[in-house]
Structure 1
Amino acid sequence: MEKLLTLFQDATQAGLRDIATALDRFSQGVADEIARAKPRAIAAAEDDEAFPLDVALFDSAPTVAVPKHAQFAPLLDVGHRFLMTAEGVFVEVRRPWLHVIQQLAKHSETGPRPPYGVVTPKIELAFGRLGVALPFVQAFAEEAQSALPNEHAAWMVWDKEKQALTYKPLHVSSTSPDEIKFDRPVLEPHESLAIDLHSHGAAPAYFSPKDDKDDAGEVKISAVLGGLGDGGTPSVAFRLCVLGMVIPLKVPVSAVFKVPEPA
């Protein structure tokens, strides 16, 4: 009886292993079939040995058609994609604190146009309005005054768990009246850079070529404070940086500094 029981158990285990192997093969086959069926508008032969590289690029930043009849479904995951519309090419970017849709290029007035729909440009902040950040900017302005004659820097980080902005001081490795260097902090998975602050000391607030280089390719609000110190004329400059595109943001000086009223 024991021998029969052992044979039965061995046969059962072998059968279970065969079933498991078959299920694995079936699952992999389904996954492969879905991957092959996924539309990718790439003008290349799929048997080209370099085709997988283009597939990876396409998947990281796809181009999609905006529907003319159905409802437009916005990007939900963190990342970006390009939108082909009847009016032109748009870029859509999603970050935990930001959803932005902006036009990159217009179609020719006389040339052919894709038979697609249209999309409305938008800039949507998870924290509502930029005014929510102004108390932190005001606190930074006081720190920047104390750092004179040198430049100063700090970050404002969006905490997805708390659904709030937090102020993050930076470790400055070197600073002078013309330049500042700091270590980029390592953020937690639920944190993301939202506002990058730095000062120009007594010099006016503006975005220098170095600022342009530092901001290229990033998604953040960049802010500069200037005209600090006794006798200076305070000034501010704000812009939204979107992967090389910059969108000026209007922030009055009086929202950051207490500007004395004329006598």
Structure 2
Amino acid sequence: MIADDPTAAAILAAVPCYPIPPSGKSPAIDALRSAPAGHGIAVGCDAVMLILRRPWLALDVPITSAIAGYLPYGSAGVPRADLLCGLIPQEFRTSMLDHFRAALPNEAAVFVLWNEVTRQFSLSYPTIDEATPSRLVYRTPVLPPGCYMVADVHSHGRARAFFSATDDADDADTTKLALVFGRIDDPTGPEMVSRLCAGGMFLPLPRSPFAGERHAQ
């Protein structure tokens, strides 16, 4: 037993930490990787890996470089970041931008939802408590079982697209894609910044989360 305090034991059970055997094979780590939801830590000779699973996301990401001290463990393996739900349909991006333009000069928001049973995306427009050209306060929806928030998207109106300190605080303890659109009515096209929020980290996206696009920022 690692901990005899019930609270500490529950925390360690919820987020387990496993050394990787020299062979690289571990039933416990395999179970963590194949679980529909959950997360834990795998400690290898070359990195410490966060393994996080959601019905819509499979993520294996190193959270340290190689540990300086000798560890008789196996390799942490290859990083992975797969959207199990697939890419967001391009028409959803068009609908978002129409919504953001209609809200000008104020900021606006929309959530991208995914249904695990139907495997379909949908858009949810949140309740807005306050909206100005530089400030937006909105509510996260309460979702039914089997429905997940894949992306939290908001606009900066006519201002640049960036993640503010308020965004960082709001996104710190969530697992989602976070997108910000700016310069909504610019004739050359809007700006977009994006990141994956997971495990208390903000990870860059290697490509756009929308189908048919390659660029990401």
TM-score where L is the length of structure 1:
0.72
The alpha-carbon distance between structure 1 residues 150 and 54, as it changes in their structure 2 partners (threshold 3 A), is same
- Establish whether residue 67 from structure 1 lines up as the match of residue 21 from structure 2: yes
Give, in angstroms, the shift of residue 100 of structure 1.
Answer: 0.2
Length, aligned pairs only: 207
For residue 106 of structure 2, the aligned residue among 141, 145, 150 is: 150
Aligned residue runs from structure 1 range 106-255, under 5 A = 106-109=65-68, 111-128=69-86, 130=87, 132-229=88-185, 234-249=190-205, 250-251=207-208, 255=213
Could you tell me which residue of structure 2 aligns to residue 79 of structure 1? 38
For residue 58 of structure 1, the aligned residue among 2, 5, 12 is: 12
Amino acid aligned to 1:104: I
> Does the 8 Å contact 2:42/2:76 carry over to 1?
no
Give, in angstroms, the shift of residue 62 of structure 1.
Answer: 0.6
Could you tell me which residue of structure 2 aligns to residue 17 of structure 1? none
State the distance in 2 between where 1:135 and 1:100 align: 26
State the distance in 2 between where 1:245 and 1:84 align: 18
State the distance in 2 between where 1:114 and 1:199 align: 49
Q: What do residues 211-263 of structure 1 show as CA deviations (whole Å, max 9, x unaligned)?
A: 1111001000000110122557621111111122111123399959xxxxxxx
State the distance in 2 between where 1:76 and 1:246 align: 23
Taking only the aligned residue pairs, the percentage that are identical comes to 29
Deviates more, 1:228-237 or 1:164-173: 228-237
Deviates more, 1:119-128 or 1:246-255: 246-255
The higher radius of gyration belongs to: 1
> Does the 8 Å contact 2:21/2:73 carry over to 1?
no
State the distance in 2 between where 1:230 and 1:199 align: 13
SS at match of 1:105: coil
**More helix as a share of residues:** 1
State the distance in 1 between where 2:191 and 2:43 align: 39
Gaps of 5+ in 1: 1-39, 257-263
Higher relative contact order (CA 8 A, sep 6+): 2
TM-score where L is the length of structure 2:
0.86
